Structure 1
Amino acid sequence: MSGEQHVTLARGHRTPFWVLLTTFLVVSSGGAWLVALPLWTSSAGLASPVAPLLLPAIMYTPAAAVFVVASVRRQRPGATARELGMWPLRPVKRVLGLTIIAVAGAPLLIAIGVFIAAGFGWVRLDLEHLSGFRETLRAAAGRAADAAPLQLIAIVQLVSIPIGALFNGLLTFGEEVGWRGWLLPRLRSRIGTWPSLVVSGAIWGLWHSPLILLGYNFEQPNVFGVFLMVVGSVSVGILFGWLRLRSGSVWPPVFAHGALNASANLVVLFSSAGDRVDPVLAGPLGAGTWTAAAIVITALVIVGQFAPARLEPFPSSSSRTSGSALRAQQDQVDD
């Protein structure tokens, strides 16, 4: 077989792993471009009235890719759910604990990134008067915003982030079941933990290209914008990947992703009026957040959270499984 990893299908056919990987990438990325096509053909771009419908649909193209790959393999739904980390939820305490950490940690990461950006002079903050937030409310509601209890609204915004994470999880599941549910563990069993974290994060970033090239997120509709998205996705993706491998479940990264999206406007909440926030430097996936993520990742490495014994091997439950044994077990799961 020349050492190549293969997947044994129910009827005896064998499909190379690279075929499954290529299928996954074509369906997920090609699907994203296809769904985004109306935005490209419209002169309005991201301002198109159909954008609010298309953006959530794009988030489910990785899930569609998982479905196609599972269909190619003719795999039973129960086996697919176990592989993807959807079920069973055990150890329950670890899965639940890491989910809580994910929901609380994602907005904290964004907030730390905002303060790092402020420390470098990339954004000016007004924590006392929240003048930037007032300016945003005024733009949306006119002079009526001046009478609004600003501090109370800000507190409500912060408290609602966990609720937003739960609702956003309905959408981010479409992405995470692909990136951290299917792609990361399969790459890990073949190229190792750190390469798979970086590669899966980079693929996640490139997958955003149809929107980034329209100016989404960084207001950089060019290759530089795509590069920024790749860097941001790798930095955050390593943390999401750690949640997946530490818990053995896809749900902590699902809700971490949901909380991250719910926290995207924290910089607006803290910023000073009249100060344009550069999303490249102080945005939710800007340089401030990259720095914050690097600090957290370094801390996790120092305390041994990326040690093999701490991570859930895939697909075996034994933490001492060698790389070659993992690959052999992967083929058994694919049988």
Structure 2
Amino acid sequence: MGVLVFVVVAFGLAALLDVFVFLSGGLRGQDVALVWGVVRMYTPAAAALLSGYKWYRVRRSIGLRLVAVYLLAPATVFAALGLFVVLLTASGNYNPDRLMGLFASLQVPLDAATALLLVSVNAYTAAITLNALFAFGEEVGWRGFLQERLEAAGLGFVKASVAVGAVWGLWHASAIILLGYNYPDNRLAGVVLFPLFTASLSIPHAAVKKLSSSILPAASLHGAVNALWSTSILVTDLPIELAGLGPLAALSWGVVSLAVYAVMRFFKSWEGRSGC
């Protein structure tokens, strides 16, 4: 019952907000989009609280492992983006002209490598600071409440992670349809594609939470996705439905997810043998 209440409340609050913004003229201007995004990201936290989530479970002493996982979690996004660029290059679809054009419009003369480095540094800084704070609201709901409830109900780690990822993506459906979020040109396709994308990157979020026993690293990872993954649409001419938020992105994240899962299993196995 708790899971059902959570899903209904999280989806309902988000949809009400989307309808309000839609009737108010849509996502016009950065200020409106920012406020909408931040408020919306905390609807899963509100739903978790109303579904019986105990806020004291968020608190945890700050130990070396938590800090390390928190700071390293965003590296997962860099790995996925790197693989994404490799796949683009191998298929002949890598083209950084849009990224370079962005810097040119800012009158910043940089080569492609320097531009990517600058984007990466800025994205990482945002990921572990403001973006993590914003993403925290979602992670309380997705990994803090829903993941734990599904695993407690008998789903294994992988199945629960993929299920949470699918719900996470479907939660965006009203924003995609009403506001064109992420898929302005193909909204109905986006309702199908985005859950596939979020399902493909859900395992790393759940893994860093399990490794650290805290949702904070999941928030820094989520913050890194929000800060960095938009670069994926700037390095190819392929439509977003095929590349940055489509099958190519899901494939990249799927491979990285397998690697992260293997690392998690290794550390858990090592802890079991060492008695930690």
TM-score (norm 2): 0.84
1:46 paired with 2:9, answer no
- How far apart in 2 are the matches of 1:32 and 1:118? 38
Cα RMSD after superposing both structures = 2.8
Q: Secondary structure at the match of 1:279?
A: coil
Q: How much has 1:64 moved relative to structure 2? A: 0.9
Identify the residue that residue 281 of structure 1 maps to in structure 2: 242
- How far apart in 2 are the matches of 1:202 and 1:311? 31
Distance of aligned partners of 1:89 and 1:288 in 2 relative to their CA distance in 1, 3 Å threshold: farther
Q: Which amino acid aligns with 1:293?
A: W
Q: How much has 1:238 moved relative to structure 2? A: 1.6
Q: Which protein is richer in helix relative to its size?
A: 2
Q: How much has 1:221 moved relative to structure 2? A: 4.4
Q: Is the 8 A contact 2:100 2:115 kept in 1?
A: no
Distance of aligned partners of 1:268 and 1:234 in 2 relative to their CA distance in 1, 3 Å threshold: closer
Q: Deviations over 1:52-99 (max 9, x none)?
A: 3212211110011122223xxxx8xxx5322xxx22146x23322222
Identify the residue that residue 97 of structure 1 maps to in structure 2: 68
Q: Secondary structure at the match of 2:50?
A: helix
- How far apart in 2 are the matches of 1:187 and 1:87? 21
Distance of aligned partners of 1:221 and 1:267 in 2 relative to their CA distance in 1, 3 Å threshold: closer
- The answer for unaligned runs of 5 or more in structure 2 is none
Distance of aligned partners of 1:309 and 1:206 in 2 relative to their CA distance in 1, 3 Å threshold: same
- How far apart in 2 are the matches of 1:93 and 1:198? 29
- How far apart in 2 are the matches of 1:38 and 1:95? 38
Q: How much has 1:106 moved relative to structure 2? A: 1.5
Distance of aligned partners of 1:87 and 1:112 in 2 relative to their CA distance in 1, 3 Å threshold: same
- How far apart in 2 are the matches of 1:164 and 1:300? 22
Tell which structure's C-alpha radius of gyration is larger.
1
Aligned residue runs from structure 1 range 151-300, under 5 A: 151=111, 154-165=116-127, 166-192=129-155, 193-213=157-177, 214-267=179-232, 270-271=235-236, 276-283=237-244, 285-300=245-260
Q: Is the 8 A contact 2:103 2:110 kept in 1?
A: no
1:132 paired with 2:98, answer yes
% same residue: 29
TM-score (norm 1): 0.71
Q: Which amino acid aligns with 2:60?
A: P
- How far apart in 2 are the matches of 1:55 and 1:80? 22
Residue correspondences, number: 267
- The answer for unaligned runs of 5 or more in structure 1 is 1-17, 313-317, 320-335
Identify the residue that residue 305 of structure 1 maps to in structure 2: 264
Q: Secondary structure at the match of 1:278?
A: coil
- How far apart in 2 are the matches of 1:311 and 1:32? 41
Match of 1:109 among 59, 80, 84: 80
1:57 paired with 2:57, answer no
Q: Is the 8 A contact 1:242 1:306 kept in 2?
A: no
1:81 paired with 2:95, answer no
- How far apart in 2 are the matches of 1:100 and 1:251? 10
Q: Secondary structure at the match of 1:219?
A: coil
Q: How much has 1:252 moved relative to structure 2? A: 0.9
Q: Which amino acid aligns with 1:125?
A: N
